[in-house]
Amino acid sequence: MKIKGSKILITGGSLGIGKAAAKILVNDGADVIITGRDQGRLEIAAEETGAIPFMADVSQLDQVEDTYKFIKENWGKLDCLVNNAAIGSMSSHLTEVTEEDFLKVYRVNVIGAAMMARHAALIFKEQNYGNIINIASTAARKGYARGTVYASSKFALRGMSECWQAELRKHNVRVILINPSEVTTAFGNPERKERPERDNRLRSEEIAHSIKAALEMDDRGFIPELTIYATNPW
């Protein structure tokens, strides 16, 4: 895919990986819309990245529809969806988890991602072309103690990615799953403040670079799944 001149939608674009991805893609000539739930943070991110802000919560289906209405009215096309919006959960033992824990996380990480992809797929099938990048986690590959809610949501995203690959390849749509290991972002921080960088841990920039690199492969091929670890986190 040629980045320059492409139209890209990034959910969860006001902080962390989404914001870093917007910056690197805009710098390479893409037109980028970023969504998020906090208008103030979204506008700051837009100023810093050059992206177009659109306030929307992926867990609210009417706001998902509003996002795509905005895209159709302003662009009339879409080249790539980056499904990045996600939330964490309290690390709870199995005996402590509640239904609400599941519903809160799944509304964003699973249902929200699926509904964003559904609308993108409608556009992509009509165009006979498109890209979906799902940002999962190494937690999508291996569960861990007290990770029942979050890890299972990322396992679900990984499974959905494989289903979408099977459905959409014949329409020239590439579905790419990216699994970051621990990244020093605001993710999981109740105050939604970016954590300080650590020399031996991944930054949002490494994941943004991976998104860009995966997209830049010629459209005749695609990377089904890419996992990024810090080289030496110990």
Question: Would you name the residues annotated as active-site residues?
Answer: 150, 154
Collapsing DSSP to helix, strand or coil, 66 comes out as: helix
Cα-flanking dihedrals φ and ψ of residue 176, to 5°? -120, 130
User: How far apart are the C-alpha atoms of 20 and 78, rounded to whole Å?
Assistant: 20
Find the helix or strand (DSSP H, E) in which 81 lies: strand 80-83
CA distances from 145 to 28, 98, 159 (A): 41, 16, 21
**CB neighbours of 168 closer than 8 A, spacing ≥ 6?**
121, 124, 125, 130, 132, 175
- Do 132 and 164 touch, CB atoms closer than 8 A? yes
The amino acid occupying position 153 is S
Cα-flanking dihedrals φ and ψ of residue 105, to 5°? -75, -45
User: DSSP letter string over 208-221?
Assistant: HHHHHHHHHS-TT-
Pairing of strands 80-83, 7-10: parallel
